Amino acid sequence: MREYTPAMDQYGIPREAVRELVHFCRQYDWKKREARYLLTISSPDMSGMPKGNTVGRPVESTVLKRQRFLDDVDLIDKAATETDSGKWTAVLIESCCRQVPWHQLDQTQLPSSNRSDFFKARREFFWRLYEMKIGTLGAMDQ
């Protein structure tokens, strides 16, 4: 199947950045599963005996890793919710994150049967996601 990359030139987003956003969204369900799994991991036995070559704080690193996954999922959810007043949230998650094509989407969830409205909302979703990711990266640099 041919991979489609939305044209976002009118929004000033480079093609490579759009591809990165598409693949970022495709990790949505995986990141949710990993965050759920990392919640069940507990700390190692504290017997005082040295174990292997692990250096650092395993519980802390697990918590931080889980939080990164949850932050990414929240970022995608927020971008989808803010797109066109949240009318397309469920449809955008299905399409952009789970790769469900337009013609296979649940027609009862669509706020409009107009195909161009959907693609306009999808472009807006990627633009919002791009702005949020750049904003978080820019805030981290300061």
pTM for the full predicted model: 0.82
Average the pLDDT over 85-96 and give the result: 92
pLDDT at res. 47 = 67
pLDDT surpasses 90 at 59:
no
Q: How confident is the model at residue 132 (pLDDT cuts 50, 70, 90)?
A: very high
Mean pLDDT of the chain: 84
Average the pLDDT over 76-88 and give the result: 93
Length of the chain: 142
Average the pLDDT over 107-114 and give the result: 85
pLDDT at res. 114 = 87
26-47 burial, b at 16+ Cβ within 10 Å, e below that, comes to: eebeebbebbeebeeeeeeeee
DSSP string over 93-118: IIIIIH---GGGS-TTT-S---HHHH
Element (H, E) at 25: helix 15-26
Q: How far is CA 92 from the centre of its chain?
A: 11
pLDDT at res. 74 = 97
What digits encode the pLDDT tens for the residues 9-57? Answer: 788 888 889 999 999 999 999 999 999 999 887 666 666 666 666 666 7
